[in-house]
Amino acid sequence: MATPTKDTSAANGAGWSNEEKAAAREHTRELKAQAKRGADRDADEKDCLAKIAEMPKPDRILAESIHAIVAANAPELHSKTWYGMPAYARDGKIVCFFKSADKFKSRYATFGFEENALLDEGTMWPTSYALTTMTKADETKIAEMVKKAAG
């Protein structure tokens, strides 16, 4: 798979980067596929696992860990893809997602939460975390957050 060249014009206000454009096109394909096949959790899971399998090894190892943690701690969330990233949804709405470092040529992967995550605490709370490796302590913390986010 060819590595896209990062277009920095987005940082200069001139538009989206090549990676952002690719993610938007991927999301359009996901929506069309989901509309065509309907609610099919098995197909969504297969798509999610295929995206994880495509990742470079460091990202793939993290994504596999995240996937296992979500499956074990929030079985009510179902896996799918979202802008070409593994994501986990409740009632069709994204709760949490994994963004590989390779996706947008970042120096770290990200595990994040969307508005449907039940993490509200006070007037401010984190919505994403940088990941470079996964320790047992990280796994425990992520499991706790996923349980809370899923409700």
Kindly give the interhelix angle for 41-54 and 18-37, rounded to the nearest 10 degrees. 150
pLDDT bracket for residue 13 (50, 70, 90): low
And the tokens for 24? 């938007």
- Helix/strand/coil for 130: strand
Average pLDDT, the chain: 89
State the DSSP code for 105: T
Per-residue pLDDT tens for 72-114?
A: 999 999 999 999 999 999 998 999 999 999 999 999 999 999 9
Pick from 13, 2, 100, 104: nearest CA to 48: 100
Res 24: pLDDT: 81
Res 8: pLDDT: 47
